[in-house]
Structure 1
Amino acid sequence: MNLSLILAHPNPASFNHAIATTAATELRRLGHTVVLHDLYAERFDPILPAAEFAQDAKLPALIAAHCAEIAAADGIIIVHPNWWGQPPAILKGWIDRVLRAGQAYNFIEGDNGEGVPVGLLKAKAAVVFNTANTPKEREDAVFGDPLELLWKKCVFDLCGVTRVHRETFRVVIASTPAVREEWLGRVRKIVADEFPA
């Protein structure tokens, strides 16, 4: 399978980077082709300019390449921290610029965008790994889980990805090396289950 892995964390020593590296290594061991995009390392520009709004807009080469890659992916893996109940801005900008109408989703003929979209992505499975420093009980009681709705309904379901597994590792700031090793074992198992050899 051709898999696209998108990482959004500014610190190369972060646990998010360990998750992404572990997932990519396991998936390659299983025989998959994995393209890993570290959005911060690549200095991905998250600003969506007005010139890119139109469905038939002439896109910069880098954005066009990202669009083509995600459209061709058999599976998608996203790794990011939970910041304010949202992905980092760089990842939100990636969504804005890459998951475009006409490529990731479309509207039925005669619909000008006010109706129900039809997903166009080839991928039928996605995995989202999040890290958090808020205990689950407080997250659920005070904030709910906005990332669950965002990834499963607002992004992947809209784009036609029907199976989404989301896993949150918490509380990262208080975790021990042994706990992190257990979590990385969970990462290996999840990607192997979702994208078997």
Structure 2
Amino acid sequence: MKVSVILGHPYKGSFNAAIAYIVTETLESNGHTVMFHDLYNEKFNPSIPPKELVCDVSDDELVTLHQREIREADGIIIIHPNWWGQPPAILKGWIDRVLRENVAYTFPVGDNGGGLPIGLLKAKAGIVFNTSNTPEIRENEIFGDPLQRIWKDCIFDFCGVAVFDRRMFRVVANSSAEQRADWFKEVKSVINKYFPANRVYNNEK
């Protein structure tokens, strides 16, 4: 299978980058084709030009590459930190510019966009790995875990990806080497569950 892996973290030595390495290594070991993008490293421009906004066609070759790959992807994996309950700005811009109408979703004929969308992505699963320095109780009770709603309901379900899994690793700032090693094992386990080696895709949660 072709799997799109998107990393949204500016620091190459980050825990997010380490997660991305484990993800790509496991996918490749399982025989899958990995389409990996480090958004900061490739200097992805998150700002959508006015012309692109109104016509749904981009003159940016990198954007069109991402759009082509996301159409082809049998799986999508996103890796990013929790910043203010949201993805980093560069990743939000990636969503704005790549997951466009007629790329990731459409509407029935005659619908001006106010009705129910029709998801176009063929990906069999959407997986998100997040890191945070906010304790779980505070995240859930005070903030309501907005990243879960953003990725599961507002993005993947909207674009037709029904199978979703998300793992949050916290508190990273206080984590030990042993804790991080356990998190790496969890990342590998998730990848093996949804994108196993030489087996038919498993959509059981």
Residues 1-42 of structure 1, C-alpha deviations (whole Å, 9 max, x = no match): 000000000111100000000010011000001111000001
**Uncovered stretches (5+) of structure 2, i.e. residues with no partner:** 198-205
Contact 1:55 1:101 in 2 (8 A): no
> Partner residue of 1:138?
138
Distance 1:67 1:55 in 2: 15
Contact 1:44 1:90 in 2 (8 A): yes
> Partner residue of 2:182?
182
**Uncovered stretches (5+) of structure 1, i.e. residues with no partner:** none
> Partner residue of 2:169?
169
Residues 138-177 of structure 1, C-alpha deviations (whole Å, 9 max, x = no match): 1111101100000001000000001010000000000011
Amino acid at match of 2:196: P
> Partner residue of 1:67?
67
Larger displacement relative to structure 2 (45-54 or 146-155): 45-54
Look up the SS of the partner of 1:6 in the other structure.
Answer: strand
Q: How does 1:11-160 map to 2 (within 5 A)?
A: 11-160=11-160
Question: Where has structure 1 moved over 4 Å in runs of 4 or more?
Answer: none
Look up the SS of the partner of 1:47 in the other structure.
Answer: coil
Amino acid at match of 1:91: L
1:6 paired to 2:6 = yes
Residues 46-98 of structure 1, C-alpha deviations (whole Å, 9 max, x = no match): 00111112355343221111100001000000000000000000000000000
Distance 2:113 2:78 in 1: 27
Look up the SS of the partner of 1:123 in the other structure.
Answer: coil
Residues 101-124 of structure 1, C-alpha deviations (whole Å, 9 max, x = no match): 011000110001111110000102
Distance 2:56 2:173 in 1: 44
Look up the SS of the partner of 1:54 in the other structure.
Answer: helix
* TM-score of the pair, normalised by structure 1: 0.98
Contact 1:4 1:69 in 2 (8 A): yes
Amino acid at match of 1:42: E
Q: Percent sequence identity over matched residues?
A: 55
* TM-score of the pair, normalised by structure 2: 0.94
RMSD: 0.9
Amino acid at match of 2:28: R
Distance 1:196 1:101 in 2: 31
- Structure 1 pair 80–56 and aligned structure 2 pair: CA distance change class (3 A): closer
- Structure 1 pair 58–48 and aligned structure 2 pair: CA distance change class (3 A): closer
Contact 1:76 1:123 in 2 (8 A): yes
Amino acid at match of 1:76: I
Distance 1:91 1:106 in 2: 22
